[in-house]
Amino acid sequence: MSAVKNVIKDNYNMMLLKDYLREAIKDAGFSHAEISKTPTGTRVALHVTRPGIVIGRKGTGIRALTEKLATDFGLKNPQISVVEIEKPELVPGVMCNRMASHIERGTAFRRATMWTLKQIMESGAMGVQITISGKLRGDRSAFEKHTVGILPRAGHHAEIIVEQDIAHVKTKMGLIGIRIRIARKEKLIPEFEMREEKTEKVKSETEKVKSETEEVKSETEEVKSETEEVKSETEEVKSETEQIAIEEEKMKSIETLEEEENRLK
């Protein structure tokens, strides 16, 4: 078998494995699985919202899952680790599964879409886009797109910031597809900033400028007060010199005792 056929076979087996995990661990809030081959075996990291359901009582659930992966999917010595998701509302796979379960129970697709949009935006997402397609109302297939917030659709930012996932729902009318794209604020690049952050920066800069102008005004007022004090001191000095000059003139007009004696003689 050629190398190309081996790659195709491995990718096909991984696709089947992920589809199986999506169905088997649906109640645990399965998002995605990271599979890597090592010399000792195969590492499988399951990202879920409720790890207790996957592990089971005394590890019975994870043991059964390892046996299933080894026998049915041919993984050599599978080593399963369970990773808990901190913010499940910001993970597209989890929200796709939740929305699919709501539609399976009979909830209207628009109500489920609006509920999902609200949950994602309230948890702190930068933008969301939900596309639902299939036989939504009648025999003819249709699709609807609902977008909220800022969502880059092309370029380097879209590859880094935006995550997406797809889920399918079987209903009485037919198959319905759900695609959710979520843009996260945590993965923002400094060059790509939101308008709110820019306005906050401008406000902070204007406040700094205002505080500096107020400080300059206070300093000018202090200088004015000092100049006024100097002027008052100079005026006092002038008044003192004038008084001294007047007293000197008075002293000149006053006759001494010797002059009085000479005048009397």
Q: Which domains does the chain have, with CATH numbers?
A: 3-85 (3.30.300.20), 90-192 (3.30.1140.32)
Please give the structure tokens belonging to residue 44.
């499988």
pLDDT at residue 155 in the model: 78
pLDDT at residue 107 in the model: 87
- pLDDT tens, position by position, 48-106: 888 888 888 878 888 888 888 888 887 788 888 888 888 888 888 888 888 888 888 88
82 CB burial (10 A radius; 0-12, 13-18, 19+) = buried
pTM of the model: 0.63
Average pLDDT over residues 13-37: 81
131 CB burial (10 A radius; 0-12, 13-18, 19+) = middle
Residue 192 has pLDDT above 70, yes or no: no
- pLDDT tens, position by position, 96-146: 888 888 888 888 888 999 999 998 998 888 899 999 999 888 778 888 999
CA distance 172 to 194: 43
Return mean pLDDT, the chain.
79
Which amino acid belongs to residue 261? Answer: E
How many other C-beta atoms can be found within 10 angstroms of the C-beta atom of residue 91?
Answer: 23
CA 223, chain centre distance (Å): 48
CA distance 25 to 68: 13
- Please, which residues bridge with residue 37 across strands? 42
Average pLDDT over residues 33-52: 84
More confident residue, 200 or 72: 72
CA distance 59 to 64: 9
Coil vs helix vs strand at 139: coil
Please give the structure tokens belonging to residue 141.
């297939």
pLDDT at residue 138 in the model: 76
DSSP 32-75: EEEEEE-SS-EEEEEEES-HHHHH-GGGHHHHHHHHHHHHHS--
CA distance 200 to 40: 53
pLDDT at residue 264 in the model: 62
pLDDT at residue 178 in the model: 92
pLDDT at residue 86 in the model: 84
Total length of the chain = 265
Q: Which residues contact 88 (CB under 8 A, 6 or more apart)?
A: 29, 31, 49, 94, 95
- pLDDT tens, position by position, 170-188: 888 888 999 999 998 877 6
Give the phi and the psi of residue 225 in degrees, each rounded to 5: -65, -40
The secondary element (H helix, E strand) that includes residue 12 is: helix 3-24
Confidence of residue 250 (pLDDT cuts 50, 70, 90): low
Question: Which residue, among 84, 93, 61, has the nearest Cα to 180 in the 3D structure?
Answer: 93
CA distance 161 to 82: 25
